[in-house]
Structure 1
């Protein structure tokens, strides 16, 4: 894509964003405050379920005026939290979103109900008319869903005057979403707004004249955003989880009210459930692609309880752009897709042809993932190609992101250029699974096409790969230096073997893998794992260096050299997998070399919770 074409796309996106801001200002802000309000609905008919997990221990902190949101602790000292100014925007978004009502409800006490009513009443007094952050579309969406879900808890024992003020404000917020939905950010944000509007139409009386329009809009968004294979147009696994967490309760509300379920709603749920299984490793974690961070295991477990079919995950999802290779207890998930559309790529990563690799309950090769911290530096690091288990040319990313000037402050950093052609071939036979894919993300700048050929054996004990860099065109600055990175999970202990020509990877249960890349310079370097509930964790990465002028391809292999020994495990999870035949175990009398045995002991004694939040990433 030419530079002129890229600039044209950015200017069109900027013009669209400016128009959306103007419409949002006209539909909201002072104009919205001056509009006459429609009549209050007579009552609430139903409360959609909140599927997200609650923590009742937070109820005592909230009652004491201590609000811990997004990593920021604020003590109100008796004042209303909605009167505070100057707090971090992320903290304010969590406060005004009212997702913490589920924690008060989990406490299930009279004091927690009174506290919830008092805090809702405070919001009505201080922010009910307008608040710069509290009336952002995603915040309003989350607040509407939270108020609807927890309305029985909030309104119990409340007086009639509070009931009316609560319903009047709820209707006003839904009306605001209905007017501004076209100006919200495309993708998950817009779909969740459509879900909130539909949920309100089903839950509140007197909304019949809006119900048909709301259902039609929800149908349109689901058909547009949920792809044929069940993936989301953003290509982010987290999007599927967030959408299902709101879509399933809305579907239940439709059924409870005796309404006919929209076709798109039924199809979307049926498609997304297998897709969520597609991205799962053996330990339940989702693969880190295109904005996926740490896995909300509790929420995923709740969502999967609604999966009636419980079928096997698909292996090939060409519309979303991923491949899944399975053999024995080993799983490989590979990114084989193009970047999402410009307007939805603000969180997308430059990780084409990257992969993650797991064996049983152990993740071995990962991508760095996404930081839970609201930090622009870490965000840039996580989106770069070097933060993924794939190849880079001349230390550059395969995608180009929008720079800060002149529109970066408005538009963020969407992908303005990247791979346009990603052909994929897949072969499944008795010997194993083979996937060959290539991308042209480096062709315009360096005249190089990156090709990756991977094969996982049928028993899952060998993963072979070849990375090739054929020169497809002559350019002014041809690329020559390549680096192929394999980021290791923090639980894996690596050590160099045979004079630094191979790497031994030891898992905590004693399973061991050997990595080898004959004829290519190999290095073991520091890396950082961002997607962890404990924060940023120090880890290592295997890096293969080479020059294209010397060799246009590099072959590598992961080979299992030792499996978990019965005498060393003591894990009920591994015992259960062994009984069901899903995890092959070694003979307890099998001989292991002293070198491997020593590495196993060291790996088992290493602390699994070691963290390093201030590590300088070398990615």
Structure 2
């Protein structure tokens, strides 16, 4: 890409930013507060022990870790080893294992690891003192202390220093889930300690999270970054805060707690709509298993604190209007489609070019899947996973529907058009939508798609208006399916046939599915070619009920 083209792409990205994201980035780079080593405030009284939300263990030895599905010994180069991926190191600094399954068997390991972190990480130096790492570690240390495994005086002193540093380094330039995590950590620190300084942390955290609650949780209950994975993380955050208020009664005003409860209930309803019958989340935008707690674990955790999901509307069609997702159900089939914007205009960092993509399950088995997410580092694989070709939608002229670039950047974005849905007289569920993401191409093409879900069949109709050279509709098959000619065999015995009418070329190619960070599984992709001037191509999947 030429220098002028790069500048133009940068402008198309930056023009959507809020002013605080521009001047805040400069401030964050230049401002370096001096760490405060004042004594820690007194620890507040606690009522009852902390109850965990289930999470897989990641510390598998006193100096060995399995993070992001990559197992390594403690880094030879220490906590900031430049030879290792930064995301893996960040996860090392989070200390998630302190509150993971079976943590009672690793108490001595955890005490030694906390002491090692304090000794090896001087205040304000290295990855561990970045605000997001501070936020997650502060919460994890406080939860661990709340299970009766008390932090010693050195750890309490460090915890207070970390809270002070976080207070001075809030990620206002990033906004979104990062700023949310900052405010949550200040609430935890403010409730855990007592005294004037702790009261200031608590007040700032409560005030900030209150504003973020209204901005980040949409009316349909979805998180505004449109990622089911991050939605699950923030839902657990709200239940954590409700529990924190119970552990420290009188510290947090009841109005805040009721607001958290109400939003958590709404978020549970959204999560149910975005969960496949196998119990896992749908893969739209940045999404993978194993980062957020599983939906069933979140439902159970919320239920322990009197937070139950609202009853979903009756019927086979569920429209999540705020976030732009639609769930269609007919018999054993569940289809979940994306007909919404990629995310908030000023914060598309976790967005994929997946407009008009969808996933399909039959019974407890996934049939059609988006590719998922396995990494965040800048590079061709990260870019491909964010691109249109990794999703069950149409790619035109080898171009992404939204202009994703780098790890977390988007320039021009696809805007959904003509979205409508309903149930016809036979009980079949239908959905239609279009998007303008390809209007920037020479022929100004417009992609239109319609889904019809009925007895034993899903019919997907793709049409392109305008000029183009080549278009491909891709349908990525779940790895557990076996192909026999034009028939797919589901593990429960169902057989799915597929037929593409009006296509100029149909083929199956080798592909990949990324269900977890650090994990790649081979799969098969059906590619249906729409050569110009294709009026419409209809791809139908048939199965026995």
TM-score with structure 1 length normalisation?
Answer: 0.77
Partners of 2:81 and 2:292 in 1: how far apart? 34
SS in 2 for 1:455: strand
Partners of 1:297 and 1:330 in 2: how far apart? 25
Tell me by how many angstroms 1:135 deviates. 0.9
5+ long unaligned stretches in structure 1: 403-407, 472-477, 497-502, 564-619
Tell me by how many angstroms 1:73 deviates. 4.3
Tell me by how many angstroms 1:310 deviates. 5.5
What is the aligned partner in structure 2 of residue 67 from structure 1? 65
**Cα separation, partners in 2 of 1:328 and 1:297, compared to 1, 3 Å:** farther
SS in 1 for 2:183: helix
Q: 1:99 is matched with which residue: 96, 99, 103?
A: 96
Q: 1:555 is matched with which residue: 533, 538, 545?
A: 538
What is the aligned partner in structure 2 of residue 219 from structure 1? 210
Partners of 2:146 and 2:510 in 1: how far apart? 52
SS in 2 for 1:444: coil
CA contact (8 A) 2:414 2:435 kept: yes
Q: Deviations over 1:149-201 (max 9, x none)?
A: 00145754x7xxx32x3222212212222222243522111111111111222
**Cα separation, partners in 2 of 1:481 and 1:101, compared to 1, 3 Å:** same
What is the aligned partner in structure 1 of residue 158 from structure 2? 169
Tell me by how many angstroms 1:11 deviates. 4.5
SS in 1 for 2:27: helix
What is the aligned partner in structure 2 of residue 616 from structure 1? none
Q: Deviations over 1:503-552 (max 9, x none)?
A: 21111221011111223232122211122589211111111112222x22
Tell me by how many angstroms 1:284 deviates. 1.0
Partners of 1:308 and 1:73 in 2: how far apart? 37
What is the aligned partner in structure 1 of residue 308 from structure 2? 308
Which protein shows a greater Rg? 1
Q: Report matched runs for 1:364-379 at 5 Å.
A: 364-372=367-375, 374=377, 376-379=379-382
Partners of 1:4 and 1:22 in 2: how far apart? 19
1:528 aligns with 2:529: no
Partners of 1:320 and 1:336 in 2: how far apart? 9
Shifted more, 220-229 versus 203-212: the winner is: 203-212
Flag the structure with higher helix content.
1
Tell me by how many angstroms 1:209 deviates. 3.8
What is the aligned partner in structure 2 of residue 586 from structure 1? none
1:428 aligns with 2:423: yes
What is the aligned partner in structure 2 of residue 453 from structure 1? 450
SS in 2 for 1:547: coil
Tell me by how many angstroms 1:385 deviates. 0.7
Q: 1:133 is matched with which residue: 98, 123, 127?
A: 127
Q: 1:119 is matched with which residue: 109, 113, 123?
A: 113
Q: 1:492 is matched with which residue: 481, 504, 509?
A: 481
CA contact (8 A) 1:26 1:32 kept: no
SS in 2 for 1:326: strand
Q: 1:146 is matched with which residue: 137, 140, 158?
A: 140
Partners of 1:176 and 1:72 in 2: how far apart? 30
Q: Deviations over 1:80-120 (max 9, x none)?
A: 955967544233212221112235x83535xx434322321
> How many aligned residue pairs are there?
521
CA contact (8 A) 1:48 1:148 kept: no
Tell me by how many angstroms 1:379 deviates. 1.1
What is the aligned partner in structure 2 of residue 598 from structure 1? none
5+ long unaligned stretches in structure 2: none
Please provide the CA RMSD for this pair.
2.9
Q: Report matched runs for 1:531-610 at 5 Å.
A: 531-532=515-516, 535-549=519-533, 551-560=534-543, 562=544
Q: Deviations over 1:347-390 (max 9, x none)?
A: 21111111111111111111111125857222111111111111
Partners of 2:73 and 2:50 in 1: how far apart? 31
Q: Report matched runs for 1:82-481 at 5 Å.
A: 82=79, 86-103=83-100, 106-109=102-105, 112-152=106-146, 155-156=149-150, 162-163=152-153, 165-183=154-172, 185-206=174-195, 207-256=198-247, 257-258=249-250, 259-262=253-256, 263-294=258-289, 299-305=294-300, 306=302, 307-309=307-309, 311-312=311-312, 315-372=318-375, 374=377, 376-402=379-405, 412-429=407-424, 430-445=426-441, 446-457=443-454, 459=455, 461-471=456-466, 478-481=467-470
Q: Which has the higher contact order (CA 8 A, sep 6+)?
A: 2
